[in-house]
Amino acid sequence: MSKTPLFEVENLHVSIEDKEILKGIDLTVNDGEVHALMGPNGSGKSTLAYVIAGHPDYEVTEGTIRYKGEDILEWSPDERAQKGLFLAFQYPTVIPGVSMASFLRMAVKNVREARAEEIALNGGEAKPFTPREFRKLMREKMEMLKMDDSFATRYLNEGFSGGEKKRAEILQMALLEPQLAVLDETDSGLDIDALKVVSEGVNALHDSSDMAMLLITHYQRLLNYIKPDYVHIVMDGRIVREGGPELALELEEKGYENIRKDVAAAAAGN
């Protein structure tokens, strides 16, 4: 009997303001796998990320998204996070007056309480998660990510550089311990040094768990630091090519326009 995939997108069609953006996306991600979704601006990459997160402005007109075999489209964004889905946004929100530690403690508390309720419903017993345990966990994760303790006392994303904002999201991901992380253009706005630091953090998390990842990016450079198992190229709302890490190198060499021509020529030949 085959194992149920961790995450499946099947024939997904999505519109916003009556304009169809996604036109039949199929994607399967298993435990521990790293997938890269690449495509030019306007191809639908970030739309897929927002739909996975449960953004209300996007209408799913056809198809399904399943997580551990369950359809997630009726789940609220909070439910998705509580069950182990995490989305790192391209442009993280600034929240003045709220410290990193306070925000992260509340986020972890909500997720842990929801998981404890689920364990109880299934007849198990979950231990309460105390503030002391949170502080210990945060110190461990910050040490793993090579972050200074003072980072936790700063207001969430206020005055943060691009690299600091992305590192803050990676810290949040580390604390929430999702089973699937969707990283939407994590490399956006980062210089080479910041990209290396953020990538090291992502790799450390992946290596210490069976977390699966979906990396959404324009450029192959991110994949020099975070190695994907599979690469998917999306254009005009459809996945047009799939392969291993070598596909990203081919894309870097040819560019999107030549890939588009190759796809059109192959379709014409059929």
- Domain spanning 7-98+179-269: which CATH class is it, in words? alpha beta
DSSP 218: S
How many helices and strands, by DSSP H and E, does the chain display? 8, 12
| pLDDT on residue 124 | 66
pLDDT (0 to 100) of residue 269: 75
Measured distance CA(90)–CA(183) in Å, rounded: 8
**pLDDT at 16 (0 to 100):** 93
pLDDT score, position 49: 92
Closest CA relative to residue 187, chosen from 202, 172, 205, 204 = 202
Domain extents in the chain: 7-98+179-269
Residues 21, 13: contact at Cβ < 8 Å? no
Q: What residues does 71 pair with on adjacent strands?
A: 66
Looking at residue 12, its pLDDT comes to: 98
Q: Residue 55 corresponds to which tokens in the numbers above?
A: 């953004």
**What local confidence, expressed as pLDDT, does residue 121 receive?**
65
Angstrom distances, CA of residue 47 to CA of 54, 126, 172? 11, 36, 22
Q: Which residues are bridge partners to 12 per DSSP?
A: 25
Can you give the pLDDT at residue 73? 95
Confidence at residue 159, expressed as pLDDT on a 0 to 100 scale = 77
Q: Which residues lie across from 159 on neighbouring strands?
A: none
pLDDT in tens, the chain (270 residues): 457 899 999 999 999 988 999 999 999 999 999 999 999 888 999 899 999 989 999 999 999 999 999 999 999 988 998 889 998 876 666 677 888 888 888 888 888 777 667 666 666 666 667 888 888 988 888 887 778 888 888 887 777 777 778 888 888 888 888 999 999 888 877 788 888 888 888 898 888 888 999 999 888 888 989 999 999 999 999 999 999 999 999 998 888 888 888 888 887 876
The Cα-based distances of 42 to 48, 182, 192, 218, 261 in angstroms read 11, 18, 25, 11, 18
